[in-house]
Amino acid sequence: MFGWFQRLLPHSSDFFVLFERHAAAVVGAADALVQLTAGQGDRAAHLRAIRDREHDADEVIRETLHEVRRTFLTPFDRGAITALIGAMDDTIDEMNRSASAIELLEVHEFDPQMKQIGVLVQDASRLIAEAAPLLRDVERNGRRLHELTAKLVKLEGEVDILHDTGMRAAFQAQKAKPDPLAFMVAREVYKNLERIADAFEDVANEIDSLVIDHG
């Protein structure tokens, strides 16, 4: 009787495909963001691409939450799955917020530090894309996953330094040639870009938790 009941239940879903799809959306948004902050190509197309990838990621989130509710056996604890995909989604949400601020404030020229942060965000997205398929076998891939999360944390620290350096330069420029509006715009852009890196560090922490629990 119990065996018959079990056969009626969905035993597992491929959450790893969902992680990988979400990671691909994050990479796509980061690729557009780095071109946007570099001032390369079609600005409107980059803004649109970031929004589109954020919508793609939202769809993955919806599918993941649906599968968590309906799946009998999951590869990790349900809370760990939702925490990881939620942290991943925060990265692309922060990219979208940064793009929205850039569009709203009509920023067309970017400080060197802003451009470099864009590059680091792209680097971080690729680390996530490398980590996602490794989650299929956390025990075997634990060491590599830990290396990737350590790199993510290091990138976040580098972004903090760029943020502080850029803000000091903007403040000095404000002192030399007063332009309060330009300073406030720079501060807003830096604040949003730094939050992207903070979100990537949160992803690193969630992956590390999985490695500790299942490695």
Q: Are 74 and 214 in contact (CB under 8 A)?
A: no
Q: What is the pLDDT along the chain (215 residues), one digit of tens a residue?
A: 333 443 444 445 689 999 999 999 999 999 999 999 999 999 999 999 999 999 999 999 999 999 998 887 888 999 999 999 999 999 999 999 999 999 999 999 999 999 999 999 999 999 999 999 999 999 999 999 999 999 999 999 999 999 999 999 999 998 888 889 999 999 999 999 999 999 999 999 999 999 998 86
Q: How far apart are CA 54 and CA 24, in angstroms?
A: 11
Taken in order of first residue, the domains within the chain and their CATH numbers are: 8-214 (1.20.58.220)
Burial class (CB in 10 A: 0-12, 13-18, 19+), 2: exposed
Q: How far apart are CA 56 and CA 147, in angstroms?
A: 28
Scored b (16 or more CB within 10 A) or e, 33-52 reads bbbbbeeeeeeeebbebbbe
Three-state secondary structure call for residue 14: coil
Closest by alpha carbon to 185, among 174, 196, 200? Answer: 174
DSSP track, 19-85: HHHHHHHHHHHHHHHHHHHHT-S-HHHHHHHHHHHHHHHHHHHHHHHHHHHH-SS-SS-HHHHHHHH
Measured over the CA atoms of residue 194, residue 197, residue 203 and residue 207, the dihedral's sign is: negative
Burial class (CB in 10 A: 0-12, 13-18, 19+), 147: middle
- The C-alpha angle 35, 204, 86, rounded to 5 degrees, equals 80
Question: pTM for the whole thing?
Answer: 0.91
